[in-house]
Amino acid sequence: MCVTDNGDVYFTEFISNSMSRLSPSRSVSIVIYTDPLVPIGICQSVDGGLLVTLIDRESDNYKLDSHSRRLVRRIRMTGDVHEYEYQEDGQTRLFTYPYRVTLISNRDICVVNRTSDSSGELVIMSPSGHIKSVYRGRSLTKNFDPIDVVSDSLCNILVTDFNNKQIHLLSPDGDFLKFLLADNEVYCPSRLSLYKSTLWVGYREGIVKVFQYRM
Protein backbone atom coordinates (compact mmCIF):
# COMPACT_ATOMS: atom_id res chain seq x y z
CA MET A 1 0.00 0.00 0.00
CA CYS A 2 0.97 3.65 -0.29
CA VAL A 3 -0.49 6.97 0.85
CA THR A 4 -0.50 9.84 -1.64
CA ASP A 5 -0.03 13.52 -0.89
CA ASN A 6 -3.79 14.17 -0.95
CA GLY A 7 -4.52 11.40 1.58
CA ASP A 8 -5.66 8.67 -0.79
CA VAL A 9 -4.53 5.14 0.03
CA TYR A 10 -3.75 2.84 -2.90
CA PHE A 11 -3.19 -0.86 -2.38
CA THR A 12 -2.47 -3.93 -4.49
CA GLU A 13 -4.64 -7.05 -4.30
CA PHE A 14 -2.92 -10.35 -5.09
CA ILE A 15 -5.95 -12.59 -5.69
CA SER A 16 -7.96 -10.30 -7.98
CA ASN A 17 -4.92 -8.84 -9.84
CA SER A 18 -6.06 -5.31 -9.11
CA MET A 19 -5.16 -1.99 -7.54
CA SER A 20 -7.74 -0.21 -5.41
CA ARG A 21 -8.17 3.22 -3.83
CA LEU A 22 -9.31 3.99 -0.31
CA SER A 23 -10.46 7.61 -0.29
CA PRO A 24 -10.27 9.95 2.74
CA SER A 25 -14.02 9.35 3.13
CA ARG A 26 -13.24 5.60 3.48
CA SER A 27 -14.89 4.47 0.26
CA VAL A 28 -13.05 1.74 -1.70
CA SER A 29 -12.97 1.50 -5.48
CA ILE A 30 -10.94 -0.59 -7.91
CA VAL A 31 -8.68 1.65 -10.00
CA ILE A 32 -7.28 -0.86 -12.48
CA TYR A 33 -7.00 -4.57 -13.16
CA THR A 34 -3.56 -5.92 -14.10
CA ASP A 35 -4.57 -9.33 -15.52
CA PRO A 36 -2.78 -11.56 -16.27
CA LEU A 37 -0.03 -10.01 -14.11
CA VAL A 38 0.00 -9.88 -10.31
CA PRO A 39 0.63 -6.49 -8.63
CA ILE A 40 2.98 -6.59 -5.63
CA GLY A 41 4.70 -3.35 -4.55
CA ILE A 42 3.29 0.15 -5.06
CA CYS A 43 4.32 3.76 -4.49
CA GLN A 44 3.35 7.25 -5.59
CA SER A 45 4.99 8.74 -8.68
CA VAL A 46 6.07 12.36 -9.03
CA ASP A 47 3.45 13.04 -11.72
CA GLY A 48 0.56 12.04 -9.48
CA GLY A 49 0.49 8.53 -10.86
CA LEU A 50 1.68 5.25 -9.40
CA LEU A 51 4.61 2.89 -9.73
CA VAL A 52 3.74 -0.79 -9.29
CA THR A 53 5.80 -3.97 -9.48
CA LEU A 54 4.27 -6.84 -11.46
CA ILE A 55 4.99 -10.54 -11.94
CA ASP A 56 3.37 -13.36 -13.91
CA ARG A 57 1.75 -16.36 -12.22
CA GLU A 58 3.00 -19.03 -14.61
CA SER A 59 6.76 -18.82 -13.99
CA ASP A 60 8.77 -20.13 -11.08
CA ASN A 61 9.50 -17.20 -8.76
CA TYR A 62 13.23 -17.21 -9.46
CA LYS A 63 13.72 -19.40 -12.56
CA LEU A 64 12.53 -17.35 -15.48
CA ASP A 65 11.99 -18.37 -19.08
CA SER A 66 11.28 -16.48 -22.29
CA HIS A 67 7.60 -16.09 -21.38
CA SER A 68 8.18 -14.72 -17.87
CA ARG A 69 7.10 -11.16 -17.07
CA ARG A 70 8.83 -9.19 -14.31
CA LEU A 71 8.54 -5.43 -14.46
CA VAL A 72 7.77 -2.07 -12.91
CA ARG A 73 4.92 -0.17 -14.50
CA ARG A 74 4.38 3.58 -14.23
CA ILE A 75 0.65 4.31 -14.39
CA ARG A 76 -0.68 7.84 -14.84
CA MET A 77 -4.28 8.61 -13.96
CA THR A 78 -4.70 9.87 -17.53
CA GLY A 79 -4.26 6.28 -18.67
CA ASP A 80 -0.68 6.62 -19.92
CA VAL A 81 1.58 3.66 -19.09
CA HIS A 82 5.35 3.18 -19.17
CA GLU A 83 7.04 -0.13 -18.38
CA TYR A 84 10.52 -0.97 -17.06
CA GLU A 85 11.23 -4.60 -17.91
CA TYR A 86 14.48 -4.78 -19.91
CA GLN A 87 17.78 -2.96 -19.88
CA GLU A 88 18.77 -0.66 -22.71
CA ASP A 89 19.74 -3.56 -24.98
CA GLY A 90 16.10 -4.65 -24.99
CA GLN A 91 17.04 -8.24 -24.03
CA THR A 92 18.61 -8.29 -20.56
CA ARG A 93 16.02 -8.38 -17.80
CA LEU A 94 16.05 -5.72 -15.13
CA PHE A 95 14.46 -7.90 -12.46
CA THR A 96 14.06 -11.45 -11.19
CA TYR A 97 11.24 -10.76 -8.73
CA PRO A 98 10.54 -7.03 -8.24
CA TYR A 99 9.08 -6.96 -4.75
CA ARG A 100 9.02 -3.36 -3.47
CA VAL A 101 9.47 0.01 -5.14
CA THR A 102 10.01 3.57 -3.98
CA LEU A 103 10.70 6.86 -5.71
CA ILE A 104 13.50 9.13 -4.47
CA SER A 105 13.13 12.92 -4.46
CA ASN A 106 15.64 13.13 -7.33
CA ARG A 107 13.18 10.96 -9.35
CA ASP A 108 15.38 7.85 -9.33
CA ILE A 109 13.50 4.58 -8.84
CA CYS A 110 14.60 2.05 -6.20
CA VAL A 111 13.42 -1.54 -6.59
CA VAL A 112 13.89 -4.39 -4.12
CA ASN A 113 14.66 -7.26 -6.50
CA ARG A 114 14.36 -10.68 -4.85
CA THR A 115 16.70 -13.31 -6.32
CA SER A 116 15.77 -16.21 -4.01
CA ASP A 117 13.67 -16.85 -0.90
CA SER A 118 16.51 -15.51 1.26
CA SER A 119 18.50 -13.11 -0.93
CA GLY A 120 18.11 -10.12 -3.17
CA GLU A 121 19.51 -6.80 -4.34
CA LEU A 122 18.52 -3.17 -4.59
CA VAL A 123 18.31 -1.81 -8.15
CA ILE A 124 18.56 1.98 -8.56
CA MET A 125 17.35 3.28 -11.93
CA SER A 126 17.02 6.67 -13.58
CA PRO A 127 13.53 7.78 -14.72
CA SER A 128 14.43 6.52 -18.21
CA GLY A 129 15.16 3.00 -16.89
CA HIS A 130 18.97 3.20 -17.00
CA ILE A 131 20.54 1.20 -14.16
CA LYS A 132 22.64 3.59 -12.06
CA SER A 133 23.75 1.05 -9.46
CA VAL A 134 22.94 -2.32 -7.91
CA TYR A 135 23.52 -2.77 -4.17
CA ARG A 136 24.10 -6.31 -2.89
CA GLY A 137 25.13 -5.62 0.70
CA ARG A 138 28.42 -5.05 2.48
CA SER A 139 30.38 -6.83 5.23
CA LEU A 140 27.61 -9.34 5.94
CA THR A 141 27.70 -12.76 7.59
CA LYS A 142 24.65 -13.97 5.61
CA ASN A 143 23.10 -13.27 2.22
CA PHE A 144 21.81 -9.73 1.76
CA ASP A 145 18.04 -10.14 2.21
CA PRO A 146 16.22 -6.89 1.36
CA ILE A 147 12.49 -6.71 2.06
CA ASP A 148 11.51 -3.03 2.01
CA VAL A 149 12.97 0.34 1.00
CA VAL A 150 12.27 4.04 1.66
CA SER A 151 14.22 7.28 1.18
CA ASP A 152 14.67 10.48 3.18
CA SER A 153 14.46 14.14 2.15
CA LEU A 154 18.16 14.14 1.20
CA CYS A 155 17.64 11.20 -1.18
CA ASN A 156 19.48 8.78 1.09
CA ILE A 157 18.10 5.25 0.89
CA LEU A 158 17.07 2.98 3.78
CA VAL A 159 16.69 -0.72 3.06
CA THR A 160 15.85 -3.56 5.45
CA ASP A 161 17.99 -6.71 5.62
CA PHE A 162 15.99 -9.54 7.17
CA ASN A 163 18.77 -12.17 7.31
CA ASN A 164 21.37 -9.90 8.88
CA LYS A 165 18.93 -8.06 11.19
CA GLN A 166 20.02 -4.66 9.91
CA ILE A 167 18.81 -1.51 8.19
CA HIS A 168 21.34 -0.32 5.61
CA LEU A 169 21.68 3.41 4.97
CA LEU A 170 22.88 4.20 1.43
CA SER A 171 23.78 7.38 -0.42
CA PRO A 172 21.58 8.47 -3.37
CA ASP A 173 24.08 6.68 -5.63
CA GLY A 174 23.69 3.42 -3.73
CA ASP A 175 26.96 3.58 -1.78
CA PHE A 176 26.93 2.09 1.72
CA LEU A 177 27.08 4.71 4.48
CA LYS A 178 26.37 2.79 7.68
CA PHE A 179 24.05 0.42 9.50
CA LEU A 180 21.32 2.60 10.87
CA LEU A 181 20.46 0.93 14.20
CA ALA A 182 22.39 -0.93 16.87
CA ASP A 183 22.12 -4.71 17.02
CA ASN A 184 19.87 -4.61 20.08
CA GLU A 185 17.45 -2.13 18.45
CA VAL A 186 16.36 -4.15 15.43
CA TYR A 187 15.47 -7.79 14.84
CA CYS A 188 14.61 -9.22 11.39
CA PRO A 189 13.03 -6.03 10.00
CA SER A 190 10.50 -6.52 7.22
CA ARG A 191 8.73 -3.14 6.75
CA LEU A 192 9.74 0.52 6.80
CA SER A 193 7.96 3.85 6.79
CA LEU A 194 9.62 7.26 7.15
CA TYR A 195 7.92 10.62 7.60
CA LYS A 196 10.18 13.60 8.33
CA SER A 197 12.14 12.51 11.43
CA THR A 198 9.97 9.54 12.45
CA LEU A 199 10.93 6.04 11.33
CA TRP A 200 8.59 3.08 11.76
CA VAL A 201 10.12 -0.42 11.56
CA GLY A 202 7.78 -3.39 11.25
CA TYR A 203 8.58 -6.98 12.17
CA ARG A 204 7.03 -10.19 10.96
CA GLU A 205 5.86 -11.00 14.49
CA GLY A 206 3.43 -8.07 14.32
CA ILE A 207 5.54 -5.59 16.28
CA VAL A 208 6.21 -2.02 15.10
CA LYS A 209 9.01 0.02 16.67
CA VAL A 210 9.21 3.79 16.29
CA PHE A 211 12.54 5.65 16.15
CA GLN A 212 13.76 9.21 15.87
CA TYR A 213 15.50 9.30 12.48
CA ARG A 214 18.84 11.09 12.31
CA MET A 215 21.55 10.76 9.70
Task: Encode the chain in three state secondary structure.
Answer: CEECCCCCEEEEECCCCEEEEECCCCCEEEEEECCCCEEEEEEECCCCCEEEEEECCCCCCCCCCCCCCEEEEEECCCCCEEEECECCCCCCECCCCEEEEEECCCCCEEEEEEEECCEEEEEEECCCCCEEEEECCCCCCCCCCEEEEEECCCCCEEEEECCCCEEEEECCCCCEEEECCCHHHCCCEEEEEEECCEEEEEECCCCEEEEECCC
Cut 0.85: pTM above it: yes
Mean pLDDT of 167-172: 97
Quickly state the pLDDT bin for 206 (edges 50, 70, 90).
Answer: confident
Domain hosting 59: range is: 2-212
When pLDDT is averaged across residues 128-135 and rounded to a whole number, the result is: 96
Percentage of residues in the chain having pLDDT higher than 90: 81
Residues 52-63 have a mean pLDDT of 96
CATH number at residue 157: 2.130.10.10
Domains contained in the chain, number: 1
Q: What pLDDT is attached to residue 151?
A: 96
Is residue 182 scored above 90 in pLDDT? no
